[in-house]
Amino acid sequence: MDKEYKNQFLQVLWPSSGDMKPDSVYSVLDAGADPSILPMIQQCGLFFECLFAGNLPQELAAAAPYVVKLKKDADFTHQLIDAGWSKNWGIFLTAPPGTGIKDIRKHLRKCLLVRGPEDQKLFFRYYDPRIMRTYLPTCDQKDRDFLFDPIIKFVMEGSSGNEILEFSTDGCVSY
C-alpha cells in the first residue's frame, strides 16, 4: 500500500472530526490466513482477545479469529496495514468512543454461529473480507441492526486490494 493510499485508509478509520473524540478502532484478524499473524498479535503491545472461548489447543489458537484494539500511531497498526492489506487477513471496525474490547468481543462472538437453510449451526467467518463484503449488501434491516449494534462502520479491502470499502447502516462507500 503506497503512502497516500495508506493515509487515506487511516483517515477513514480515524477521521479528523474537530472536537469529537476519536472512535474506538478495532481489527478482527484471521490468524489462520497467514502463520505470521498470531505472532504479530502476541507481540503487538495492544489489547487483544481471541473470539473463541476457553483454553485452546495450539493448532486451533493459530487459526482462530482475534480482535485487536488499534491505535493510530502504534507500530502494529502500520505493520498490519503494510503486511496484510490485499491479503484478506481481516476486517476493521469502529465503535463509539469508550467502547471496550470486552464489549466488542462479546458482540462479535454472537456473530460466529449462524443457522443454515436446514436450521443447522454453521461457523460464519465474517472477519474474512471476501465474505463480509459479499454478505453486508445482502443484509435486511434486522440483520444490519444486529450486526452493527454497537459498531459504527466496517472497513475492509475491496476485491482488487486497491479499494477501501466502508460499510455503515446507510450502505457502502468506496475509496
Lowest model confidence (mean pLDDT) among 9-23, 52-66, 72-86 = 9-23
170 belongs to a structural domain: no
152 belongs to a structural domain: yes
175 belongs to a structural domain: no
Decide if 12 contacts 158 (C-beta within 8 A). no
- Strand ranges (E), 44-163: 48-50, 65-70, 90-95, 113-115, 121-123, 153-157
Grid cell listed for 52: 473463541
The H or E element containing residue 77 is helix 75-84
| pTM across the whole model | 0.93
171 belongs to a structural domain: no
Q: What angle, rounded to 10 degrees, do the helices at 75-84 and 3-13 form? A: 120
21 belongs to a structural domain: yes
Decide if 30 contacts 89 (C-beta within 8 A). yes
The arithmetic mean of pLDDT across residues 80-96, rounded, is 96
65 belongs to a structural domain: yes
Per-residue CA distances from 2 to 8, 43, 110, 158 (Å)? 10, 25, 36, 16
The tally of domains found in the chain comes to 1
Query: Given this model, what pLDDT does residue 132 score?
Result: 97
DSSP per-residue letters across 15-69 = ---TTSPPPEEEEEEEGGG-TTHHHHHHTS-S-EEESS-S---HHHHTTSEEEEE
Give the torsion sign (CA, 119, 120, 126, 130): negative
**Domain range for 76:** 3-163
* Residue 21 scores a pLDDT above 90: no
More confident residue, 86 or 23: 86
168 belongs to a structural domain: no
pLDDT digits (tens, 9 = 90+) for 122-170: 999 999 999 999 999 999 999 999 999 999 999 999 998 889 999 999 8
The arithmetic mean of pLDDT across residues 31-51, rounded, is 97
173 belongs to a structural domain: no
